[in-house]
Structure formats: C-alpha cells, structure tokens
Structure 1
Amino acid sequence: MAQVLKDDIRDKILQSALEEFYMHGFTGTVMRDIARQARIPTGLIYSYYAGKEALFEEVLRPVRYDWKTVFREGAGQHGGKFDRLNEREMDCIRNLLAHRKEFIILMDKSADTKFSDEKEKFIREIEQHLKYLMKHKERYDETYIHIIVDNFVEGLLQVMYHCTNKEHALFTMEKLIKMYLYGIGL
C-alpha cells in the first residue's frame, strides 16, 4: 500500500512540475508552486528529487533522444525514397507528439539549464543527417539546408503548440515532413 502512495505522490509532483515548467519555463518556476499544485508540502518534493534541476530533467526524460543514434539506426531504411521518414524516425515524432508539452519545454523553455541549447543541437543533428543523405549529390547548398532545417524545426514546434488533437497533429506533421523532404531535393 505504501508504494502505491509513493507512486501517486511522484506522479502528482511530475504532473504539477510539467504544468508549471510549461507555463513559466525553468527560470520562472518555483518549487513552492509545484507543491501547491500537487497539494503537498514543498519539502516533500525533495524526498523524491534533489532539486529543481533534477525534477526538470525527469520531466524532460520522455523527449530526450540521442538524435545521432536515431538517424544512424534509420539511415538505410528509406529505401531510396525520401518523401517520408523511416519507421524509427516516425516513432520518435509520434512520441514527441504524445509528449508535446515536454518537447516545447525542452526546445523553448529551458533557458539557464544544461538543456538551453537543445534546439540548436537538434537543428545541427538534422543538418548532419541530411548532408549524409545527400552525399551522392554533386552539389548542395549548406546554407539552404540550414534554412530548411531551421524552418522545419520551427514548423514542428508550431504543430506542438497548436495541434492538441493527436490525429490532427500527426496528419499535419506528415504533411510538413513531405513538404520539407520533397523541397530539399533529396
């Protein structure tokens, strides 16, 4: 019975932290507000997490990927067609859509944390992946690739912010992916 209560409290803390970090970002969130929303004493949070940084990291866990590995694992799975992502990449996109608030926090609301440059890292990893996929091309414009990838990531974030229905979000994301992959000329 005690374990169930502990899990329930941990879930309340995580859900409250997710909402507070989503609304106020890392710097604007205070532990006292997380505790108030979870309806627990502030000190109880520290029984589960060492501090705000540890709690923030736990909130972001579902959307933290080693993108190099994701892209490397799926590199040969396109079958010569680049009008869609491979299954591994699509699994990641579906997971990001399922955890849209966490992804928004990671990309846009993690200033003053060790994750503050995640958006730039994500863009760089996609750029490297596209350059690898385009290695057979005689010429390609690195500036153009950067612009396309930067716009794609902004589009992905717009889907996360505005498409709260999962089916609509996935449909919109698939259209966005096709548009950018066709547009880059792979």
Structure 2
Amino acid sequence: MQVLKDDVKNSIRQAALSEFKKHGYLKASMRHIADAAGITPGNIYRYFESKDDLFDALIHPIYEQFNTYILEIKDEVESTLCKEASDHLNILRKVDATIIRLFKESSIELTILLNLSEGSRFEPVKQELITLVYQILEKVLPNEQPTTQMFAATLIEGVSLILRDHEDSDTIKMLVDELLYLYSAGISEKIKLLSLA
C-alpha cells in the first residue's frame, strides 16, 4: 500500500514540475496537475495541503542548495582582499559555476526558481542574486552605481533566459561562459576607460 502512495506522490510531483515549468507558479492549476497525475483533484490534497505546499516541496530543496552556495560566495567576497578586477571576475565565474552545477542537479527546479516563481515565497531569489553580483561588481567599479546595477541585472537576466530556453547542460554552460566572457571584456574595458579619465 505504501508503494502505491509513493507512486501517486511521485506522479503528482512530476505532473507539478511540468505544470509549473509550463505556466509558472501563479498560473499553474491544481486541476491540471491532478489530471496529468491521473488522480482526482480532491485526491491531490491528501498529499499536499495546497498549491503553495506542493510548490514548496518541489522548489525548497534547490533553493536551500542555491542559498548555501550563494552565501559561501558572498562570504568569500566579503573576506577576500580582492585587489584586481580579475579577482572579482573569478568570483563571478564561481557564480556561473554554481548555476551550472545546480542546473545539472535539478534543471527544471532551477529554471522554475529563477524564471517562474512569481507570486510564491521564492519570487525574491532572482533579485537576491542580482544584489550579490552587484556587490561584487561594486568593488570592481566603485562610484559607478548605475553601470554596476545595469551589469548585474542584465547578467542575471541573461543567465535566466539561457536556462529558460535551453535544456542541454553543455549548451547552457557554453552560453553562460560566453555571456560571462562578454561581460568580463566589457567590465575590463570600462575599468581601462575609468583609469584614463
């Protein structure tokens, strides 16, 4: 009997991942999830109290991993005496590597977390990541607040779009690396221009 319950719960989870990836948290339907799982809508509530509870069960583990990695990077930024722009760019590469590692472990969940969590308690995660990248860039480009805010926001939005539009981890790594390379080149050029001024 327990095996059947586990099978039903796993069916609900798989159907929910598909629904949340297709429609996002706000527009996802518990009825569609139940239909895709092959159960009645009322039966789904025997396993999960609400859509929020189901979303949390799916996304919270990747959020915890994401948060742990990001806090480690943030601690490194705050404790490292980065003197060269390349030091900060190496930390940005760690952010890149973290996103790629999480994508390999939980691609659908990470895509949902960064792109489709509007209306859930996870909605601020993307802004938290933008803030972290801003804090890194702020040390590289002091007194350039609008520029660093723009760099941080567009870099994370670019990564989010790559995750949204691609499912192959090798393609994602190549595109994120290319995006980071272009940003690094742009930041390095900006630093040169500021040093000449």
TM interval, shorter chain, is 0.7 to 0.9
Write the distance in 1 (CA, Å) between the matches of 2:107 and 2:31.
24
CA spacing shift, 1:70–1:180, aligned 2, 3 Å: farther
In structure 2, the CA distance between the partners of 1:173 and 1:72, relative to structure 1 (3 Å rule), is same
Out of 57, 70, 73, which is 1:71 matched to? 73
Q: Which has the higher helix share?
A: 2
The one-character-per-residue Cα deviations of 1:22-56 (angstroms, maximum 9, x if unpaired) are: 21222222211101001122233222222100111
Whether the aligned pair in 2 keeps the contact of 1:22 and 1:104 (CA below 8 Å) is: yes
% identical equivalent positions: 25
Q: Does 1:162 align with 2:161?
A: no
Superposition deviation, residue 168 in structure 1: 1.2
1:150 aligns with 2:153: yes
Q: CA separation in 2, counterparts of 1:21 and 1:100? A: 13
**Alpha carbons 2:20, 2:112 under 8 Å: kept:** yes
1:68 to partner: Cα distance: 4.9
2:54 equivalent in structure 1 = 55
For residue 89 of structure 1, report the CA deviation from its aligned partner.
5.7
Contact 2:134–2:152, Cα closer than 8 Å, also in 1: yes
Distance apart, 1:108 and its partner CA: 3.2
* Residue of structure 2 equivalent to 1:175: 178
Residues 11, 148 of structure 1: alpha-carbon distance in 2 compared, 3 angstrom cutoff: same
> What letter corresponds to residue 167 of structure 2 in structure 1?
T
Give the aligned partner of residue 121 of structure 1: 128
Provide structure 2 residue ranges, at least 5 long, that are not aligned to the other structure: 192-197
Q: TM-score, normalised by structure 1?
A: 0.79
Provide the residue aligned with 1:107 in structure 2.
114
Over the aligned positions, Cα root-mean-square deviation in angstroms equals 2.8
**Cα–Cα, structure 1 residues 159 and 115, in superposed 2: closer, same or farther, change >3 Å?**
same
**Contact between 2:102 and 2:110, CA under 8 Å: does it hold in 1?**
no
Whole-Å separation in 2 of the counterparts to 1:148 and 1:81: 14
Decide whether aligned partners of structure 1 residues 153 and 97 sit closer, same or farther in structure 2, where only a CA change above 3 A counts: farther
1:92 shift after superposition:
3.7
Paired residues of 2:100 and 2:169 also in contact (CA < 8 A): no
1:31 alignment counterpart: 30
TM-score (norm: length of structure 2): 0.76
Return the offset for 1:150.
Answer: 1.1
- The answer (yes or no) to whether the contact 2:25–2:119 under 8 Å persists in 1 is yes
**1:97–1:160 Cα contact (<8 Å) kept:** no
